[in-house]
Chain A
Amino acid sequence: MTDLWCFLQQTLAATLAALVLLAVKRILGDKLSPRWQLALWLPLAVRLLLPVGAPRAGGPVDLTYPLTFLRSAVELHLNSAYTDPYAPIACLSPVPWLTGAPVSVTDWLFVIYAVGVLVCLGWFLLSYVRLRMAVGKGTPAGARAEQLSRVAETYGLKPCRALEVEGVQSAFLCGVFRPVLVLPAGREVDDKVFLHELLHRRYRDTALGAVLCLLRCLHWCNPILWYCFDRVQNDCEALCDQRVLERLEGEDRRDYGHILLSMANEKYARAPGTSSMANGGKNIRRRIQCIARFKRYPAGMALGAVCCTLVLTVGCVAGRAEAGTLSASPAWGSSPAKVLTLVLDGRPTTVAGALDTYVKGLVERNPLWLAVAAPAEELPETLEVVSSGVSPDWPLPEEPLDWKIHNLRDTGAGYQGTLCLQNYETAGNGEGDSPVYTQEVLVVPQYQGYAVEPLGEFETVDGVNLIQYPNVKLPSLHYTGGDGELTVRLDIQRVLGAKTTEDQSASNGVFGSFFSSGPSLRVEPLPHGPFVSRWKSEGGVLTAADDRDLHRTLAFVPVEEGDWTTEELKAVLDRQHNDHVDLPAQVGDGSGGVTDEYLGLDWDECLAPTAFAASCTVDDVEHFFLLTLEGEW
């Protein structure tokens, strides 16, 4: 948690989980034994320790949208040091962390929260130290140590050190690693009280108390969670009562209830690293009710309770959808806070989705979609455009333009390629080729999503039949290499496409299948869609040392750029399936491809490689080359 909004996201998600659990516990209160009542808190523990921003851990209710709206409304007017209003809220750690000096109101609120955590922690620590000091002044329990040993031996438990301390009302265990049993000086202690505390020691309940103190500190300003932590400790005591009752018989069980009743008026302090049998009058009454119901809880519920807890854990923690939805409305003239919320909620999560959103923004003249696909540093400007309601100059004609991306490759700074757009309705219909609008773009990864950065203006290319296939008029990538005797230039053109069309029958209702006129261009973008089609073409030349062009078949496989020996090149060509091209050939003439509109393509197969291992045979001698990317023409 590095800002106020991350804390709010985490604590609200935990509160929702707590409300779910309180509801379930309310209904199952008389049906599940204390053992399973305590186990039912497991989902809350997981929710508190797992940050909401972790993958697929957003929880059942999406809090991002309302929180983003609130944050946008507040932070756009501030200049906070801890909060970037243009980045999505993503809590990636369950503990607070200050990243600099506070500047704005929200920064100071977060500092107050962080200081509160430290004060709370200090207070608990101080309480514990004072308690340990008081315990340190205690005297060894002589005769009662023997009583303790006898009880431990009777019930097969390990005894622990016991001290008598003045001013203590009832017995309790103190310490996490080497707990000490603290006894009230000058007062008789029943065997059953010893048994209760020894069972706390056996099951290390004081460690649970210490963990709860830490969680109390982290959520010190959340009363619902504090109430839940109280309930956890009460359930822990009720479970210990059950364990005691399982070891007692007949009248001893009734006596145990009387002992609890005698503690109903005692003051109870939730000191860290301790377990006190007396946890307040109201809770004692609940525990007495549990004892009365001891024999009436349905037996043999272990598997059912485990399954129930599992469902609750996954239900309270797992997020059903990581990706938000993209608003279809252009949001012209909306407030900047609303526009920013819509933008951050609809951020594309795939490269294909980012390109589709960018193109649809341009083609449909929807400034919100353009803002959604814009890099974070350009967001203030794009927000201004949307909020102003004034239409900017659009670089493309108002036509139904489809898009493909050529030669997408990883440049280190992002994924660069040539975006090609063409009229979907007139392209390839034999009435003359529609012009193709091309633009070099860089798709940059940002905040668990992607944004599109144009690298130049749109240019027009004529004479292209259909942009979905490789074409000699469109640019290709050139890979070159040689071995001293031969020089190779391999030209590659790769065309990637996303799902940009939809079946018209889907929008025509029941009668759609009868009147369908085939697929039509989608109007709305798919910001989380994959690439679904890949077409490629290869060409190049093989040149001898005397500048003669040779006619040979070149075998090649994609590899990482680096220092490769001939043996390594040979090995990788032997090991992997090779592609072949007969040289010389012109790239764009002839192609092959694959389309999978349902599952999409593997991302690894979409990018143009940085290098190729290649081989060809000339005069019965096999030559091996490493071909590296030289550029794009």
Chain B
Amino acid sequence: MERNEIYRGLVWVMWAQLFLYVDFTIGGLNVLPRWIGYVFLWRAIRLLREARPTLGLLEGLCVLLGVRAVFQTNLAKAWLATLPAALEGAGTLLGVVLLALDVYFEYQLLTDLASLAGAVGEDGVEASLRHSRDGLTVLYTLSCLVAGFATPPDWLTVLLVVGTMGALVCVVWNLNRVRRCYAPEAPGEA
């Protein structure tokens, strides 16, 4: 039963990455909103926390980041624009807090998922996922710093976007390998 749940949880995590990192808008409507990514992750955490208790620590964070993602939608931005300008400073401070939590959340999530591969003896998969996690975290952090606090040259922006997407592909590919480790056994094998 637990094996099945881990398998399903990993599928949710893989789908979540699509919503978290890919922005696709048609006619002003974002068809891959980030907050749906956090809903998927929340479901995944609930399925996986029994197998990996430290994942349970991320549940509250996931909700918090999901709420932030809701406030990043165009509709919410339009509403936020109507608030008094004096609240802008508080919003900026909250943004810094949530950005740091975002970096932490993604890192710990992937660390725990890598440990799931290690738990079934797939040390190679675990190491591979940890490496791609490191790359993704570093590039994501740099992207946040560059985008939020400086005016980057075009080449750096392109480099960071391409690098982040490359690291993301590696993460998803390795997550798929972890998922296969927990593939449901055929009735005959059982």
Contacts and interface: CB of A to CB of B under 8 A. Distances in A.
Interface of A: 16, 19-20, 23-24, 27-28, 30-32, 60-62, 296, 298-301, 303-305, 307-308, 310-312, 314-316, 318, 320
Given A61-B89, A298-B54, A304 B111 contact: yes
Nearest to A297: B54
Given A310-B145, A318-B149, A320-B148, A27 B64 contact: yes
Interface residues of A, dominant DSSP: helix
Given A300-B111, A307-B107, A31 B100 contact: no
A311 to B, nearest CB: 5
Given A300-B111, A315-B148, A308 B104 contact: yes
A61 B93 contact: yes
Contacts of A16: 93
A303 B97 CA distance: 18
A60 B108 CA distance: 26
Nearest to A40: B100
B99 interface: yes
B141 interface: yes
Contacts of B107: 301, 303-304, 307-308
9 shortest A-B CB distances, which residue pairs? A304-B107, A315-B96, A61-B89, A307-B141, A298-B54, A318-B149, A308-B104, A311-B100, A60-B92
Contacts of B60: 27
Contacts, number: 90
Given A308-B100, A314-B149, 15 more contacts: A27-B101, A31-B104, A61-B93, A298-B54, A301-B107, A301-B108, A303-B134, A304-B103, A304-B107, A311-B99, A311-B144, A312-B100, A315-B99, A315-B100, A316-B96
B51 interface: no
A316 B97 CA distance: 10
26 contacts: A20-B96, A27-B61, A31-B58, A31-B104, A60-B93, A61-B89, A62-B89, A298-B108, A298-B111, A303-B107, A303-B137, A304-B103, A304-B104, A304-B107, A304-B137, A307-B103, A307-B107, A308-B100, A308-B103, A311-B100, A311-B141, A314-B145, A314-B148, A315-B148, A315-B149, A316-B96
B57 interface: yes
A303 B138 contact: yes
Nearest to A26: B97
Contacts of A305: 104
A61 B92 contact: yes
Which among A27, A32, A316 has the greatest number of chain B C-beta atoms within 10 A?
Answer: A27
A64 to B, nearest CB: 12
A560 B61 CA distance: 61
Contacts of A20: 93, 96-97
B125 to A, nearest CB: 15
A24 B97 contact: yes
